């Protein structure tokens, strides 16, 4: 996986949220002393992340992305034990289904079905299709997380179901992979599910192509847009991987220590995502 919900890092207005609190709690239990677990990504937390990355053989950049999340979540059950015994799971127990194409969340509980409109991940940071469970819940996380937060068991990032401070985004594919609801809806949902509730996310699975000269598509358009935002591609965003796009990719690859082959594969795409998030100061989940 390339995406990991939002990229956690030091920003001028310090990032905060339940995902950062989770990082701090896990680092604390592992003995890395990130400072007081308060959900704010401080310099002390960044340095603890760097020490953890060094010990696990990761790049010491202080950025909490997919590789760092995978390492932090290797023993996820120890941090988020299920609170409901397996014997309690029955046909009447709550189950959540999210369809990323229709952008609808369906809750089935006690024979009743309730649907809610949601925002889902955008093309570059898709929502994680698969079978998950809720592993953590919190009230009033605030900011872009809105009124409630329900963390999912996805191992490569901090994905969850949450509220929003941007209600106009509901019904769109705009998130870093999280599932957003209107605050009044997420409060209702929160009260009807528990830690251990299964969550099925279905829909179109995003396939990462090795983009090269001659390719067409929305993924090409997306790469062009990121290159344009970063100043490498001052041309029309047309979805065609021509020579101008290839040369722009080569310039980006050279500037970021990648093999300058002009092919936008997984490593280049991952570097583009990180560079774009940093350049645009995008901190929404």
Q: Is the pLDDT of residue 96 over 80?
A: yes
Between 179 and 208, name the one with better pLDDT: 179
Residue 59 lies in a domain: yes
Q: How far is residue 17's CA from residue 33's CA, in Å, rounded to a whole number? A: 18
pLDDT over 80 at 91, yes or no: no
Q: Are residues 168 and 124 in the same domain?
A: yes
Tokens of 213: 């000269």
In a domain, 2, yes or no: no
d(CA 137, CA 282): 24
- What's the domain count of the chain? 3
Q: Please, where are the H alpha helices in 30-168?
A: 43-55, 66-72, 76-79
The total of other beta-carbon atoms located within 10 Å of residue 90's CB is 6
Q: Does 146 reside within a domain?
A: yes
Residues 50 and 110 in one domain: no
Is the domain of 106 the same as that of 129? yes
Q: What are phi and psi of 95, to 5 degrees?
A: -140, 140
**131-148, pLDDT tens digit by residue?**
999 999 999 998 899 999
Per-residue model confidence (pLDDT) at position 281: 83
- What phi and psi, each to the nearest 5 degrees, are found at residue 264? -90, 85
Based on the fold, state whether residues 169 and 237 are members of the same structural domain. Answer: no
Task: Decide if pLDDT at 78 tops 50.
Answer: no
The Cα 175–Cα 147 span in angstroms is: 17
Active site residue 162: yes
Which one of 16, 80, 99, 178 is the catalytic residue? 178
Q: Which of 16, 80, 99, 162 is catalytic?
A: 162
**Which is nearest to 247 in space by CA: 267, 227, 230?**
227
User: pTM for the whole thing?
Assistant: 0.81
Do 120 and 157 lie in one domain? The reply is yes
CB 201 within 8 A of CB 129: yes
Q: Residue 251 and residue 1: Cα distance in Å, rounded? A: 25
Residue linked to tokens 């989770």: 22
How far is the CA of 37 from the CAs of 16, 17, 92, 221, in angstroms? Answer: 11, 11, 37, 40
Over residues 105-131, mean pLDDT: 94
52 and 23 co-located in one domain: yes
The beta-carbon contacts of 228-237 under 8 Å, at least 24 apart in sequence, are: 229/276, 229/279, 229/280, 230/272, 230/275, 230/276, 230/279
Looking at the fold, whether 147 and 197 belong to one and the same domain comes out as yes
In a domain, residue 125? The reply is: yes
CATH code for the domain in which residue 133 is found: 2.40.440.10
Q: Domain range for residue 55?
A: 18-79
Which pair of tokens denotes residue 155?
């191992």
- pLDDT band at residue 155 using 50, 70 and 90 as cut-offs: confident
Token readout for 164 is 């929003």
4 lies in some domain: no
Based on the residue annotation, tell me whether 16 is a catalytic residue of this protein: no
Residue 7 pLDDT exceeds 50:
yes
* 133 found inside a domain: yes
Q: Residue 90: which pLDDT band, with cuts at 50, 70 and 90? A: low
Task: Tell me what the mean pLDDT of segment 195-199 comes to.
Answer: 97
pLDDT at 86: 46
**Position 45 pLDDT exceeds 60:** yes
Do the domain assignments include residue 208?
no
**Cβ-Cβ contacts under 8 Å for 166 (sequence gap 6 or more):** 144, 284
Average pLDDT over residues 171-175: 94
* 94 and 195 inside one domain: yes
Q: What is the mean pLDDT of the chain?
A: 90
Let me know whether 72 and 92 are in one domain: no
Q: Let me know whether 35 and 91 are in one domain.
A: no
Residues 194 and 92 placed together within one structural domain of the fold:
yes
Residue 241 lies in a domain: yes
All residues at 6 or more sequence positions from 16 whose CB lies less than 8 Å from its CB, including other chains: 39, 40, 41, 142, 143
Of 62-66, 113-117, 184-188, give the lowest mean pLDDT range.
62-66
Residues 68 and 133 in one domain: no
């Amino acid at each position: 996986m390339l995406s990991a919900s939002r990229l956690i890092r030091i920003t001028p207005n310090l990032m905060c949220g339940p995902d950062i609190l989770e990082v701090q709690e896990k680092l604390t239990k592992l003995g890395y002393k990130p400072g007081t677990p308060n959900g704010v990504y401080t310099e002390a937390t960044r340095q603890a992340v760097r020490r953890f990355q060094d010990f696990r053989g990761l790049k010491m950049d202080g950025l909490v992305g997919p590789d760092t999340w995978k390492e932090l979540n290797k023993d996820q059950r120890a941090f988020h034990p299920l609170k409901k015994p397996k014997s309690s799971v029955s046909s009447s127990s709550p189950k959540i289904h999210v369809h990323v194409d229709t952008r609808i969340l369906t809750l089935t509980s006690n024979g009743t079905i309730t649907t809610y409109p949601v925002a889902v991940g955008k093309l570059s940071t898709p929502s994680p299709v698969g079978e998950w469970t809720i592993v953590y819940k919190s009230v009033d996380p605030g900011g872009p997380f809105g009124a409630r937060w329900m963390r999912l068991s996805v191992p490569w990032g901090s994905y969850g179901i949450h509220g929003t401070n941007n209600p106009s985004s509901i019904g769109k594919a705009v998130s870093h992979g999280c599932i957003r609801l209107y605050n009044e809806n997420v409060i209702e949902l929160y009260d009807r599910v528990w830690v251990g509730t299964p969550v099925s996310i279905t829909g179109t699975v995003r396939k990462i192509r090795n983009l090269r000269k001659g390719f067409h598509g929305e993924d090409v358009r997306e790469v062009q847009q990121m290159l344009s935002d970063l100043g490498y591609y001052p041309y029309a965003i047309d979805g065609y991987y021509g020579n101008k796009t290839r040369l722009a990719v080569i310039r980006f690859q050279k500037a970021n220590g990648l093999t300058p082959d002009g092919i936008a594969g997984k490593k280049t795409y991952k570097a583009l995502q990180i560079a774009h998030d940093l350049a645009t100061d995008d901190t929404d989940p």
